Amino acid sequence: MATDPLIKALRNTRFHPVMDMISGNARPHILDLSSSNPNIESVDLNDEFAFSNFITNSIKNAGCDYGIGGYGEDRIIYTRSDVFGTARSIHLGVDIWTEAGSPVYCPLEGTVHSFADNNNHGDYGPTIILEHKVDQYTFYTLYGHLSRTSLSGLRKGLLIKTGVQFAALGAYDENVHWPPHLHFQLMRDLGDKTGDYPGVCARSEQDFYLQNCPDPNLILQVSVLE
């Protein structure tokens, strides 16, 4: 089968780390939020503080510095929010779990496509979508669960250079009751979406969405996810 041209172009591109810990000696812990993780079965997912403690303690008990993972994962955690309904469970991005206020950098020169504060319970909270080109191919990156100050001064079409900090992670109350983390997602086509794009899909739709949202580790290039 012929190699997907966008995937090939991304694999041949050097990206700036999206967050500091990715490029340093920080130790990552792959967080499994699917039903196959027996440790999550005892967590009351409707208790937001219990879920936050689960995330924090999972990273700490593994002797690691931050949490990461989730692409293509069939998660059970979305039952705690009406945003996802009963069918949506396939996670389309990679989550990087770390401290609120941590800086977020532009991986490749691009422009601001759109932004919004998606402040429904369990949603992204403050969100930025960037538009990029590699070779002749256009693609988009989405950054969810940001601080509200990350949206200040933005405008559609604003150029952001490679390696420039353009956002920071939001605190618990800013990112609509999630433990601080970055939801990072890669998309080929946004359709008519602005400031938002599904980060979770139904199992019945996963073929379409996983094809439109390739593995974000093509950009993150975190070895434990390869």
pLDDT tens digit sequence for 163-210 = 999 999 999 888 888 889 999 999 999 999 999 999 999 999 999 999
127 versus 226: which is more confidently predicted? 127
44 with 53: CB under 8 angstroms?
no
67 residue type, one letter: G
Question: Tens digits of per-residue pLDDT, 84-136?
Answer: 455 678 999 999 999 999 999 999 999 999 999 999 877 899 999 999 999 99
CATH number where 128 lies? 2.70.70.10
Domain count for the chain, please give it: 1
* pLDDT > 70 fraction of the chain, expressed in percent and rounded: 95
Domain extent at residue 52: 5-225
* pLDDT > 90 fraction of the chain, expressed in percent and rounded: 75
Q: What pTM, to 2 d.p., does this model score?
A: 0.94
65 with 26: CB under 8 angstroms?
yes
